[in-house]
Amino acid sequence: MPYFCNTKISHMKILVLNSGSSSLKFQLFDMPQTKVLVKGLAERIGEATSRFKANDYEVNQPIGTHKDALQLLTTYLLDDKNQIIKDTSEIVAVGHRVVHGGNTFVQPTLITEEVKDKIKELFSLAPLHNPANLTGIETAEEIFKDAKQIAIFDTAFHQSIPVENHKYAIPETFYEKGIRKYGFHGISHQYVSREANKILERTDTKLITLHLGNGASATAVRNGKSFDTTMGFGPMNGLIMGTRSGDIDQSIIFYLMDKLNYTLDEIQTILNKQSGMKALAGSNDLRDIETATDNGDNQAQLALKMYAGAIKKYIGNFTAQMNGLDALIFTAGIGENSQKVRELVCKNLDVFGIEIDKKKNKNPKDYQGDISGQDSKVKILVIPTNEELEIAKQTFDLMQS
């Protein structure tokens, strides 16, 4: 790890940035107390209907670029009435979420020109994410000139996956070129698995973490380390998602090309943006699908059954691989908020010792997130994810090294 100074810094302000193609999420932390000083986002960047929100402040105005969004944030931070910072130099470090780190980055990394070049090389593996992540880095370098820029990679947590689980059964030359399972949502899976271990008061655990949002993935976490995960070389594989297909037979792609005359670009669009729950139920918003299900819509009911079924397949797979299971964790937008999905996923899994308490499942917060049935041998937990806090913690630890 990089060496910064002779004396550890016991107190610092760390800004966390999560840059999307047209959005910028941010949180400013006072570390190591983990106090949130500012939390907000800029969305619809580059559109006429942009919105900037920080704490209770909100403004709707065109935001042309990520730099414009960061300048709005800087103005807010420096405003005397907010009393947050007096100068940008008070921000010691900026922690950036970077989606794809390939084989190169396995831990928090001080950003240099060489690191930025490597992130560029990985554009083809995460075309929707890495370019936006790099834009956030370069913009932060301009505005927060005194701060160390730190990259936290979504793929890093999954670098512990053993070769038998990350290698594909294709010619060796492709593996040598970096074609393997990488996995994603690693920051979230790492955060909630650590929180689960605190609840269990153990670290020698066998966990399955379910990050269920518009993008969705499941991860087997053994003794605090990623052991297997559903997303692979790219983020399309595994579970059924909002607009992504999840697992399909590869021969479908060849059939679409050879027999139905679709181009590769068209197929990529279909599988990434027109599939999943959107294809099954006509919407990728689970709230709409659940409402339709309650109203007797057969397509919506089938979609939810398939969604839960895809998750169950991996619960069985991962439990078998780890030879047991201590806890099943639900997180992210759907995992944290959908009573129906949690119930469907856990239904008929008593063979694995998984039994949900339907009363607790209605209001997990009333039970500290523990929705396990009385006779359940496996803890069933709802743990809100906090990727920004995980990034702040990893950034702080690196700055202390």
Domain boundaries, the chain: 12-153, 202-387
CATH 3.30.420.40 fits 12-153, yes or no: yes
pLDDT for 185-202, tens place per residue?
A: 999 999 999 999 999 999
What class is the 202-387 domain? alpha beta
pLDDT for 111-132, tens place per residue?
A: 999 999 999 988 877 777 788 8
CA pair distance 379, 207, nearest whole angstrom? 9
pTM of the full structure: 0.89
pLDDT for 172-182, tens place per residue?
A: 999 999 899 99
CB-based contact 128:269 (threshold 8 Å) = no
Residue 354 has pLDDT above 90, yes or no: yes
Rg for the chain, CA atoms, rounded? 22
Residue 205's contacts (CB-CB under 8 Å, 6 or more residues apart) are: 196, 197, 221, 222, 223, 224, 326, 327
Please give the structure tokens belonging to residue 334: 């759907």
DSSP for 46-80, written as a single string: TSTT-EEEETTEEEE----SHHHHHHHHHHHHH-T
Position with higher pLDDT, 389 vs 44: 389
pLDDT (0 to 100) of residue 143: 87
CB-based contact 331:385 (threshold 8 Å) = yes
pLDDT (0 to 100) of residue 10: 67
Catalytic residues: 154
pLDDT (0 to 100) of residue 9: 61
